[in-house]
């Protein structure tokens, strides 16, 4: 147990699992198909769980509905106090949970810790928010009338999360939803179920200690069929889904057909524009972390570099040199920069993309390949690659969830912005420049069409304080900071007449 994984699993209490669903502390003996979680780090089995069945699902929804009737009556700051304790629970388990995330997902231990830190941060944010769920007060046009708006809890929030941030993205949703008075039903990726079970253990302990009834935090392990149940279920007013555009379209359509709310955070195809006078030192560092961090498996990963022709060759050279220094291997070993892809299916997709690039005429700056050898036994390790392409290539329009970086040239800034915007996705974007005309154009209404637009920092690694999400095929949803909480509540406009007359609005007369 060189990297302490066994110890972490033991301390998190998740060895010998066989239950794939829980309503709070109440683990249900699920009878669905067996899901085995293998680590992409070394190919070893971490644990097996049985997926939930239809009837397990309905049992959980019943519990959740009952719990909601209680939870919505708890004052919001008191709900915040529970979330504060959850933050402390996460602090106490940070190293173990970070290690498990790293081992089950394959991101570096540093990034695993960073992911748990994001969870702690969103807890703190939500605690403050629990005293700030503000509505406006409006002046009525009628005498002796008062108007205001208030926000009420919605009910059950369904959370569908992806393998690449197996725990943080759930927490962005769950912590806000809980202070808002909602109860949560979480369907994690079936590629990372164990990290989700570990979170449920941490959280349910705190709910139990505070005598909160079961069913405020619900977990359900299963494949897309569970996602379909959630999406079609009238009893779930909000479904928040993070993942591929294909999944998001299916969820969005099903939720839309019943006029429920969908909060979608889907694929990105994020670009960094490197201007003529950019600081190349920070440009290269930003591009490098953005492109190869998490082995290219963030929705905010830098996939395209749009480089001014005057600095193009220099950037290409420096990047190739930096890629030459990258250490690829076990992500729990802090000497390595890049870990594995999530599974061999992802490796297949990486290889298909490489084929497509050469078919369309792309030229390798750093050629991609699958790595073999004793350190790469899981078959999930690939070499981060750089290709020179034309922006109109079909493959460049797609998000390939792997470390493949595309280089393109531009002459003037308007052209760069057009290239940046000319993809179906609209999540994150960045410009590296010291020219105020370039940066202001990029941030203007005629500039980047993305939900996130940065100057002199890369496309990934957003802070939790801002609203996170994007436009177009990214789905339009906003999670995490700013006023993203409003998606988790229903707004009610209230008009109160404290006079003895009944004046109608718009001055309408209706006397008998």
Active centre residues (catalytic): 265
**Is there binding between residue 461 and ligand UN1 (CB under 6 A)?**
yes
Given the structure tokens 């700013």, which residue do they identify?
482
* Shortest Å distance, C-beta 230 to ligand UN1: 19
Nearer to ligand UN1, 53 or 269 (CB): 269
Interacting residues with ligand UN1 between 161 and 220 (CB under 6 A): 164-165, 169
Of the candidate spans 3-11, 141-149, 214-222, 457-465, the one that interacts with ligand UN1 by CB under 6 A turns out to be 457-465
Q: Name the burial class of residue 13, with classes exposed (0-12), middle (13-18) and buried (19+) by CB atoms within 10 angstroms of its CB.
A: middle
Interacting residues with ligand UN1 between 269 and 298 (CB under 6 A): 298
Nearer to ligand UN1, 68 or 468 (CB): 468
- Look up residue 156 and give its two tokens: 């059950």
Q: Name the burial class of residue 21, with classes exposed (0-12), middle (13-18) and buried (19+) by CB atoms within 10 angstroms of its CB.
A: buried
**Separation in Å, CA 277 to CA 315, 341, 437, 439, 455:** 12, 35, 12, 12, 13
Of the candidate spans 249-257, 456-464, 470-478, 490-498, the one that interacts with ligand UN1 by CB under 6 A turns out to be 456-464
Given the structure tokens 């097996």, which residue do they identify?
48
The DSSP annotation for 241-295 comes to: EES-HHHHHHHHHHHHHTT-EEEEE----EEEEE-TT--HHHHHHHHHHHHHGGG
* Shortest Å distance, C-beta 186 to ligand UN1: 15
Q: How far apart are CA 128 and CA 81, in angstroms?
A: 10
Nearer to ligand UN1, 23 or 474 (CB): 474
Contact by Cβ (8 Å): 240, 159: yes
Task: State the pairing for strand pair 302-308/363-366.
Answer: unpaired
Q: How far apart are CA 454 and CA 479, in angstroms?
A: 18
Q: How far apart are CA 6 and CA 19, in angstroms?
A: 20
* Shortest Å distance, C-beta 298 to ligand UN1: 4
Nearer to ligand UN1, 102 or 204 (CB): 102
Of the candidate spans 14-22, 311-319, 459-467, 498-506, the one that interacts with ligand UN1 by CB under 6 A turns out to be 459-467
Nearer to ligand UN1, 30 or 270 (CB): 270
Of the candidate spans 69-77, 121-129, 430-438, 460-468, the one that interacts with ligand UN1 by CB under 6 A turns out to be 460-468
H-helix or E-strand spanning residue 494: strand 489-497
Nearer to ligand UN1, 21 or 450 (CB): 450
**Is there binding between residue 130 and ligand UN1 (CB under 6 A)?**
no
Site string for ligand UN1, 234-273 (x = CB under 6 A): --------x-------------------------------
Task: Output phi, psi for 323, to 5 deg.
Answer: -60, -35
Nearer to ligand UN1, 24 or 296 (CB): 296
**Angle at which helices 109-129 and 168-179 cross, to 10°:** 10
**Is there binding between residue 300 and ligand UN1 (CB under 6 A)?**
yes
* Shortest Å distance, C-beta 461 to ligand UN1: 5
* Shortest Å distance, C-beta 450 to ligand UN1: 12
* Shortest Å distance, C-beta 460 to ligand UN1: 4
Q: How far apart are CA 57 and CA 160, in angstroms?
A: 14
Given the structure tokens 């991609």, which residue do they identify?
368
**Interface residue with ligand UN1, options 247, 460, 469, 484 (CB under 6 A):** 460
Contact by Cβ (8 Å): 215, 67: yes
* Shortest Å distance, C-beta 457 to ligand UN1: 11
* Shortest Å distance, C-beta 29 to ligand UN1: 32
Interacting residues with ligand UN1 between 357 and 386 (CB under 6 A): none
Contact by Cβ (8 Å): 205, 14: no
Nearer to ligand UN1, 60 or 162 (CB): 162
* Shortest Å distance, C-beta 427 to ligand UN1: 9
Site string for ligand UN1, 143-172 (x = CB under 6 A): ---------------------xx---x---
H-helix or E-strand spanning residue 146: strand 145-153
Nearer to ligand UN1, 168 or 382 (CB): 168
Contact by Cβ (8 Å): 318, 432: no
Task: Output phi, psi for 280, to 5 deg.
Answer: -70, -30
Question: Edge-to-edge strands of the sheet including 137-138?
Answer: 137-138, 145-153, 489-497
Site string for ligand UN1, 409-448 (x = CB under 6 A): ----------------------------------------
Size of the site for ligand UN1 (CB under 6 A): 10
Of the candidate spans 226-234, 310-318, 455-463, 494-502, the one that interacts with ligand UN1 by CB under 6 A turns out to be 455-463
Given the structure tokens 């298909």, which residue do they identify?
352
- Look up residue 357 and give its two tokens: 């690039």
Binding footprint of ligand UN1 on the chain (CB under 6 A):
164-165, 169, 242, 298-300, 460-462
């Amino acid at each position: 147990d060189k990297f302490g994984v066994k110890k972490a699993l033991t301390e998190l209490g998740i060895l010998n699992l066989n239950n794939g669903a829980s309503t709070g502390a109440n683990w249900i003996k699920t009878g669905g198909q067996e899901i085995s979680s293998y680590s992409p780090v070394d190919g070893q089995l971490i644990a097996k769980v049985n997926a939930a069945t239809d009837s397990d699902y309905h049992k959980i929804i019943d519990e959740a509905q009952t719990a909601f009737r209680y939870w919505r009556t708890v004052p919001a700051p008191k709900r915040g106090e529970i979330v504060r304790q959850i933050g402390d629970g996460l602090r106490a388990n940070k190293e173990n949970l970070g290690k498990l995330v790293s081992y089950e997902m394959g991101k570096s231990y540093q990034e695993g810790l960073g992911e748990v830190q994001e969870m702690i941060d969103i807890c703190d944010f939500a605690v403050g928010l629990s005293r700030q769920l503000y509505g406006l007060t409006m002046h009525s046009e009628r005498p002796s009338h008062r108007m205001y708006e208030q926000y009420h809890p919605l009910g059950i929030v369904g959370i569908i999360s992806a393998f690449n941030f197996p725990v943080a993205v759930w927490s962005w949703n769950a912590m806000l939803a809980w202070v808002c008075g909602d109860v949560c039903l979480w369907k994690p990726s079936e590629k990372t179920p164990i990290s989700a079970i570990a979170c449920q253990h941490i959280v349910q302990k705190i709910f139990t200690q505070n005598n909160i009834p079961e069913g405020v935090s619900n977990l359900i392990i299963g494949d897309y069929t569970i996602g379909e149940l959630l999406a079609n279920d009238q009893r779930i007013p909000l479904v928040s889904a993070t993942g591929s555009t294909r999944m998001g379209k299916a969820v969005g359509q099903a939720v839309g057909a019943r006029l429920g709310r969908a909060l979608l955070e889907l694929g990105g195809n994020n670009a960094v524009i490197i201007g003529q006078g950019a600081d190349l030192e920070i440009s290269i560092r930003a591009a490098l972390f953005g492109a190869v961090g998490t082995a290219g498996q963030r929705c905010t990963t830098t996939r395209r570099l749009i480089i001014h022709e005057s600095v193009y060759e220099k950037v290409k050279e420096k990047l190739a040199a930096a890629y030459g220094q990258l250490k690829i291997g076990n992500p729990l070993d802090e000497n390595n920069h890049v870990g594995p892809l999530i599974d061999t299916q992802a490796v297949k997709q990486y290889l298909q993309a490489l084929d497509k690039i050469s078919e369309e005429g792309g030229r390798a700056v750093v050629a991609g390949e699958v790595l073999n050898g004793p350190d790469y036994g899981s078959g999930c390790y690939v070499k981060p690659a750089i290709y020179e392409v034309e922006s109109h290539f079909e493959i460049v329009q797609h998000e390939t969830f792997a470390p493949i970086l595309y280089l393109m040239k531009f002459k003037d800034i308007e052209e760069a912005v057009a290239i940046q915007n000319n993809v179906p996705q609209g999540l994150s974007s960045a410009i590296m420049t010291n020219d105020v005309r370039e940066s202001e154009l990029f941030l203007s209404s005629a500039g980047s069409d993305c939900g996130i637009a940065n100057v002199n920092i890369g496309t990934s690694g957003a802070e939790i304080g801002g609203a996170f999400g994007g436009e177009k095929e990214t789905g339009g949803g906003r999670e995490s900071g700013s006023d993203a909480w409003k998606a988790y509540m229903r707004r009610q406009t209230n008009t109160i007449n404290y006079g003895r007359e009944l004046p109608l609005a718009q001055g309408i007369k209706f006397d008998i």
